[in-house]
Chains A and B, each alone.
Chain A
């Protein structure tokens, strides 16, 4: 079952930063925060993940609060191609085949406006 809460939709002006929040107040100490996005009629695409430190890659930045109960995905300069549904997922890592599943919540539909 999904353990995250996200706003259903957001708009962002092209070229501006898009800040997508996620609440995961019941996150366990061994659970990571993952972000994926899904462009219409395609499979989800990995964006970034983190445990407790803030993370940055070529796509985005992930800010995790100190208590780890929430996080924010930041797209620094949103483009029209960033219009998609963004999913925040918490998941522990397991060496066995069980416990490695991703359970998707409802996500946030981000619309980048020209």
Chain B
């Protein structure tokens, strides 16, 4: 089945630095990927839609200059949290659509836990 890999699974960074999270579709091509954020004991919140070869579409209230998304190839999307602060600490999850599986082909990565100290 479709597999989405996220890296790193866990990262700790200092306040003010930037962190890059990778999302890869391992055995399929994904023209669209999605990035979510999840705070403890809360639901997943969609942050943005990552479109291969074009600009990402951000949800209302999500700062595009703070959460930079690059989808340079059909198998890789990256989320960079710039100038991270402790309030950015969260669980970040990506999702990709395997179009060969039809309309239910949404596979989620295993997530990246970011801690900003």
Given contacts A43-B93, A87-B43, A104-B43, contact A97 B31 (CB under 8 A): yes
Residue B91 interfacial (CB < 8 Å): yes
- Tell whether, in the assembled complex, residue A45 and residue B108 are in contact, meaning their CB atoms are under 8 Å apart: yes
Q: Complex formed: what's the CA distance from A34 to B106 in Å?
A: 11
Report A-chain residues with C-beta under 8 Å of the C-beta of B110. 42-43
* Contact call B49/A101, Cβ cutoff below 8 A: yes
A98 to B106: give the CA distance in the assembly, Å. Answer: 14
User: Could you say which residues of chain B place their CB within 8 Å of the CB of A107?
Assistant: 43
Minimum CB–CB distance for B100 against chain A, Å: 15
Task: For the complex, give the distance between the alpha carbons of A33 and B83 in Å.
Answer: 39
Q: How far is the CB of B51 from chain A (nearest CB, A)?
A: 5
Return chain B residues, CB-CB under 8 Å to A87.
43-44
| Bitwise interface map of A from 1 to 19 toward B, beta carbon under 8 Å scored 1, else 0 | 0100000000000000000
In the bound complex, CA of A44 to CA of B108 (Å) = 6
Q: Count the A residues whose beta carbon is within 8 Å of the partner chain — how many?
A: 24
Contacts of B44 in A (CB 8 A): 38, 44, 87, 104
Residues of B in contact with A, size category: 20 to 34
A34 near B32 (CB under 8 angstroms)? Answer: no
Is A93's beta carbon under 8 Å from chain B? yes
Question: Given A97-B32, A98-B57, do A41 and B111 touch, yes or no (CB 8 Å)?
Answer: yes
A19, chain B: closest CB distance, angstroms? 21
Query: Is B49 a contact partner of A46 (Cβ separation < 8 A)?
Result: no
A93–B99 Cα distance when bound, in Å, is: 12
Give the docked Cα–Cα distance between A32 and B105 (Å).
Answer: 13
5 pairs of residues in contact across A and B, judged by CB atoms under 8 Å: A43-B95, A44-B108, A46-B104, A87-B44, A102-B46
Known: A41-B113, A97-B32. 16 other contacts (CB 8 A): A38-B44, A41-B91, A41-B111, A42-B110, A43-B111, A44-B108, A49-B103, A49-B104, A98-B49, A101-B49, A102-B34, A104-B36, A104-B44, A104-B46, A105-B43, A106-B43
